[in-house]
Amino acid sequence: MENKNKVWFITGASRGFGRIWAEAALSRGDKVAATARTPESISELKERFGDAVLPLALDVTDPRQVEKVVRQAHAHFGRLDVVLNNAGYTLVGTTEEADESDVRDLFDANYFGTLRVIQAALPLLRMQGNGHILGVSSAMGIVAAPLIGFYCASKWAVEALHDSLAQEVNGFGIKVTLIEPGAFATDFGSPLSMKTSPGMEVYADLRNQVFGRLSTAERGDPQATANAILHIVDAEEPPLRFAVGAGVLPLAREAYANRLTAWEAWESVTNAAQGKPINKR
């Protein structure tokens, strides 16, 4: 396992996983460019860890600010070893209820915000000849659920982005990992991390059912994830996908088994749709 001191760039470092993983990195002697929309929310990190922390204001929906802040962090520490995209939020609402502008805002933060940071960091990582890009996806990047379909869609997009990215940058010594957490007792469901569309009465029963299940669902201890993330960034050959929490893998197994069953049930029709081979000159 590789275990030298690393320099991290973390978005959404003010709370939740971003804060926990920033503290874990700093506690073992790493350095962190900790970013958040409001620098006051991460000032305590500076007080505790001193020059090991570079607190920076960053709204990932601002392309110019993203470019500026990533370069500022690289210039300050001289390198970036781990680029961790954690900033994001969820939109609660059925497909019929959500306003298109809210969906666009969600993707601007969750998908395009991640893309902006990656595009700003890639030239610097290529110049270094190394680096590790971590994208925080979700178990909902593997399956979809009612009422949060747009959040799921943004995470499915994040999954595809990193899958392609890993194939594109492998030759430059850059590693890529998708972090896929299950249900944890973070503040992700708080008003700071969630926006809700106006509800329609016709979906009231569904909403009550979903919220009822969520209220009794078992949630993991977010602090317990820190060692797992450090293990991933220290690995010489980290995985492209890393499920965080015991509930993710059973969920994935069931989802993929169901998909294979459906595809195979229609295989004859699928193959017939191929038609006869067409030879092009």
State the average pLDDT over residues 155-161. Answer: 98
164 Rama class: left (phi>0) / alpha (psi -120 to 50) / beta: alpha
Q: What is the rounded CA–CA span in Å between residue 31 and residue 33?
A: 7
Provide the whole-model pTM: 0.94
Least confidently predicted of 29-43, 213-227, 234-248: 213-227
* DSSP label at residue 62: -
Q: What is the rounded CA–CA span in Å between residue 163 and residue 151?
A: 19
In-domain check, residue 12: yes
Q: How far is CA 7 from CA 39, 61, 66, in A?
A: 19, 23, 18
Name the residue with tokens 């990215």: 165
Listed in sequence order, the residues at least 6 apart from 45 whose beta carbon sits closer than 8 Å to its beta carbon are 13, 22, 23, 26, 32, 34, 53, 55
In-domain check, residue 252: no
pLDDT tops 50 at residue 1: no
Strand, helix or coil at 242?
strand
* pLDDT at res. 107: 98
In-domain check, residue 272: no
Structural domain tally of the chain? 1
* pLDDT at res. 193: 75
In-domain check, residue 267: no
* pLDDT at res. 185: 85
Q: What is the rounded CA–CA span in Å between residue 91 and residue 115?
A: 19
pLDDT tops 70 at residue 122: yes
Q: What is the rounded CA–CA span in Å between residue 110 and residue 120?
A: 16
pLDDT tops 70 at residue 136: yes
> DSSP for 64-132?
HHHHHHHHHHHHHHS--SEEEE----EEE--TTTS-HHHHHHHHIIIIIHHHHHHHHHHHHHHHHT-EE
In-domain check, residue 174: yes
**CA–centroid distance for 49 within its chain:** 25
pLDDT 10s digits, 253-273: 999 999 999 999 999 999 999
- Contact between residue 130 and residue 173 where contact means Cβ atoms under 8 Å apart: yes
Q: Which residues are designated catalytic?
A: 137, 151, 155
* pLDDT at res. 188: 59
279 exposure class (CB count in 10 Å sphere: 0-12, 13-18, 19+): exposed
pLDDT tops 90 at residue 123: yes
> Residue 165 is part of which domain span?
7-247
User: Which CATH number does the domain housing residue 54 bear?
Assistant: 3.40.50.720
Confidence of residue 189 (pLDDT cuts 50, 70, 90): low
* pLDDT at res. 153: 98
In-domain check, residue 2: no
In-domain check, residue 277: no
* pLDDT at res. 279: 82
Buried b (16+ CB within 10 A) or exposed e, 47-60: eebeebbbbbebbb
Average pLDDT of every residue of the chain? 95
The tokens describing 233, both together, are 């960034």
Read off the amino acid at residue 184.
F
In-domain check, residue 32: yes
State the average pLDDT over residues 15-40. Answer: 96
**CA–centroid distance for 205 within its chain:** 31
